[in-house]
């Protein structure tokens, strides 16, 4: 089914109306007194959104964006897979406490339908998935709105959109601000985040050459790392360092250990999952026979990046500040 370029939305409420929408593609006018729809990009597609009241959000990056904009009352619930750190550690712990945890598994269609969602916020291939049968196109047919993290639109079929990861965060906050009618609040918050990032960049050391960095996500036979389409690539750059795989066009990708050794990284950034602790990853890298010559291993230069400081969400700014401080204090060439 082809998604119409500007579908008109309504709140997904009675099941009968949802079935009618799915069956005939009918458009339903907003309820009396509801705000007029606003047209906002969803990746490279212009979509008309009715203001949501029952949003379902996937992972902390999605939830944090809405909580940071003061939209807790519009969140129906959140889905949080095991890799995510505990929500009690979040800057928005109080907001999480007010919202229902719907699942600790992956996002799926039945869950959002049962929740009565009128908006689903997630990333492409991170939440939304063709394999699991929950895509924006499928939700369109059910009368359920969807919003994708702009950073993840790099390879969205039919409507790709390519922006740098931090600009993707700012775009998401501004777009969500329009969808929920809090544009001024979103603009002010984006201004605060931009100012913090500008401070990081201004304070970064100007080293020649810049320290080389390998981000280790996971993997034993082949390591999984950050390409140039995810936030850690810019976190590393803003701190005055260089991602050894910055030339790879992609998001999260697997590489060979030979390439890591050949690059001789001076810092290894460890992505810390709840179900794969950083300490275990560091122990594995130290014991890997091929990595003995790597300067980061020899000099014990590891920096831990929290999972939510690496995925699209406000906490990537925290990640940039923390890593920048590590580089400033570790390198004085």
| 128, β-bridge pairs | 124
Instruction: For residue 232, report the phi and psi dihedrals to the nearest 5 degrees.
Output: -60, -30
Separation between Cα atoms, residue 193 and residue 308, nearest integer Å: 16
Q: Is the pLDDT of residue 88 over 60?
A: yes
pLDDT higher than 50, residue 128: yes
Average pLDDT over residues 117-126: 95
List CB contacts of 145: < 8 A, sequence separation 6 or more.
Answer: 9, 12, 47, 49, 50, 52, 118, 119, 120, 139
The least confident of 136-140, 281-285, 329-333 is 329-333
Q: Please determine, for residue 151, whether its predicted confidence score (pLDDT) is greater than 90.
A: yes
| CA–CA separation, 58 and 102 (whole Å) | 10
For the cut 60, the answer to whether the pLDDT of residue 20 exceeds it is: no
Q: What average pLDDT score do residues 170-195 get?
A: 98
- At 30, the pLDDT band (50, 70, 90 cuts) reads low
- What are the backbone dihedrals phi and psi of residue 314, each rounded to the nearest 5 degrees, phi first? -60, -25
What is the mean pLDDT of the segment spanning 28-38?
Answer: 69
Which of helix, strand or coil describes residue 213?
Answer: strand
Helix (H) or strand (E) holding 127: strand 127-128
pTM of the model: 0.88
pLDDT band at 275 (very low <50, low <70, confident <90, very high): confident
pLDDT at 227 over 50: yes
Measured in whole angstroms, the distance separating CA 219 from the mean position of its chain's CA atoms is 21
In terms of Cβ atoms closer than 10 Å to its own Cβ (0-12, 13-18, 19+), residue 168 is: buried
Higher pLDDT, 82 or 216: 216
Other CB atoms within a 10 A radius of the CB of residue 329 amount to 8
- Burial status of residue 284 (CB atoms within 10 A of its CB: 0-12, 13-18, 19 or more): middle
Length of the chain: 333
CB 74 within 8 A of CB 147: no
Work out the number of other CB atoms within 10 angstroms of the CB of residue 150.
29
Q: What is the mean pLDDT of residues 96-125?
A: 96
Residue 6 predicted with pLDDT over 80: no
pLDDT at 3: 34
**pLDDT the model gives residue 34:** 73
Residues of 32-55 as b/e, b for ≥16 C-beta within 10 angstroms?
A: eeeeebbebbbbebebbbbbbbbb
Residue 320 has pLDDT above 80, yes or no: yes
Residue 232: predicted pLDDT: 97
Given a cut of 70, is residue 114 above it in pLDDT?
yes
Is the Cβ–Cβ distance between 30 and 168 less than 8 Å?
Answer: no
**pLDDT tens per residue, range 183-213:** 999 999 999 999 999 999 999 999 999 999 9
Name the least confident of 27-36, 129-138, 324-333: 27-36
Percent of the chain predicted with pLDDT > 90: 82
Say if residue 175's pLDDT is above 90: yes
Helix count and strand count (H, E) for the chain:
12, 14
Task: Note the pLDDT of residue 194.
Answer: 98
H or E element at residue 67? helix 59-68
Please return the burial class of 202, using the count of CB atoms within 10 Å of its CB with bins 0-12, 13-18 and 19+.
exposed
- Averaged confidence pLDDT in the chain: 89
Question: How much of the chain exceeds pLDDT 70, in percent?
Answer: 89
Q: How far is CA 272 from CA 50, 218, 280, 310, in A?
A: 37, 10, 10, 9
């Amino acid at each position: 089914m082809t998604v119409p370029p500007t579908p008109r939305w309504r709140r997904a409420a009675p099941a009968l109306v949802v079935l009618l929408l799915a069956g005939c593609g009918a458009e339903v006018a907003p309820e009396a007194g509801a705000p007029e729809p606003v047209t906002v990009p969803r990746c490279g597609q212009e979509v008309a959104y009715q203001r949501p009241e029952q949003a379902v959000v996937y992972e902390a990056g999605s939830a944090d964006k809405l909580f940071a904009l003061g939209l807790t009352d519009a969140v129906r619930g959140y889905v949080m897979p095991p890799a995510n750190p505990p929500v009690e550690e979040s800057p928005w712990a109080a907001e999480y406490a007010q919202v229902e945890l719907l699942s600790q598994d992956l996002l799926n269609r039945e869950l959002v339908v049962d929740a009565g969602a009128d908006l689903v916020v997630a990333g492409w291939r991170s939440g939304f998935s063709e394999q699991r049968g929950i895509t924006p196109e499928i939700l369109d047919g059910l009368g359920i709105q969807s919003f994708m993290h702009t950073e993840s639109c790099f390879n969205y079929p039919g409507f790709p959109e390519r922006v740098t990861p931090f600009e993707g965060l700012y775009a998401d906050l501004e777009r969500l601000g329009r969808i929920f009618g809090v544009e001024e609040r979103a603009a002010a918050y984006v201004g605060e985040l931009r100012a913090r990032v500008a401070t990081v960049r201004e304070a970064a050391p100007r080293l020649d050459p810049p320290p080389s960095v390998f981000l280790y996500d996971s993997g034993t036979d082949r390591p999984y790392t950050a390409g140039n389409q995810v936030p850690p690539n810019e976190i590393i750059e803003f701190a005055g360092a260089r991602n050894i795989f910055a030339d790879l066009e992609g998001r999260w990708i697997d590489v060979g250990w030979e390439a890591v050794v050949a690059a001789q990284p001076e810092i290894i950034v460890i992505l810390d999952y709840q179900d794969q602790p950083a300490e275990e990853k560091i122990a594995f890298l130290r014991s890997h026979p091929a990595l003995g010559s790597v300067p980061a291993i020899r000099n014990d230069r590891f920096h831990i990046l929290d999972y939510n400081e690496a995925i699209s969400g406000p906490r990537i700014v925290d990640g940039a500040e923390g890593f920048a401080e590590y580089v400033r204090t570790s390198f004085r060439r």
